[in-house]
Structure 1
Amino acid sequence: MKAIGYKTPGSIDSKEALMDIELESPKAQGQDLLVEVQAISVNPVDYKIRQGRVPEENQYAVIGWDATGIVKEVGDQVSLFKVGDKVWYAGDITRSGSNAEFQLVDERIVGKMPASLAFAEAAALPLTTLTAWEMLFDRLEVAKDNSNNTAIP
């Protein structure tokens, strides 16, 4: 599969900062979904990780976390999704990222993408909306109605 990766961390202006690469396509197992990535967004975490994360020896690192896509394969323990579902997510920073044609994502951090949004629109939302949620409800402690997870006016 095609991906964008790097072998040496550092500044984005380096000639080898982000390179077009070919990797083996992953296979879904356990609670993983194999998602065919349709759109991604870029957040500050992307460049911060790119500057400092050292890939395993002789391996490429693939960054990118906010993404949308279509489920192409499900692991044998998946219960929440099926092949063909349109999904969105802010991926797991400890795993290979979304700057690739396909990505493995644990179903427990994935949501069904709203039908009212295009892939590109939806890809801009996962991390930013999680950040807004944490600010409102975890930091500012805005009261919420726990029966439907909405703020109380």
Structure 2
Amino acid sequence: MFQITANTEVAAITLNLVPDRPGIGAQVFGSLWTRGINVFLVSSTPLAGGKANITLSVNKKDLQPAIVTLKKVQHDLGADSLSTDFDVALICLESPNLATTPGVGKKLFEVFSTNKINVHAVSSSGTSLTCMIIGKDAPRAVQLLNKEFEIGKKEK
């Protein structure tokens, strides 16, 4: 049994060209925690030269305080830049058996690919697969995934 949810009340923040070393995550999350800012998704992309990009999503109402907080972190870490995207959504596919059900990710990404829905970041656990996409694509993504995973279909 699968469940699909969309969260369109989020914004994305990316710290670009952050040093890729232990302790960076603690500094980023610690700075946001002290301001009471919750992070819904985080994705780190290792790059050449010992650098990484860290993308995270926060509630839209927390975007400005998060930017102020992370600008200081950017400076302290020597990160190259900070970028934001206000038009994103998190699409979450959940199932208690996700980790033991082969092919779920394949189906999700095929649906997105076929329908030209670009995934900007991905996070997963044993029970959920969350994708950050362009906000305007969220209703269509939910509809397509509900159809693909036969959510709401009555058994005969």
Q: TM-score, normalised by structure 1?
A: 0.26
Q: Which has the higher contact order (CA 8 A, sep 6+)?
A: 2
Q: TM-score, normalised by structure 2?
A: 0.25
Which of the two has greater strand per residue? 2
Which of the two has greater helix per residue? 2
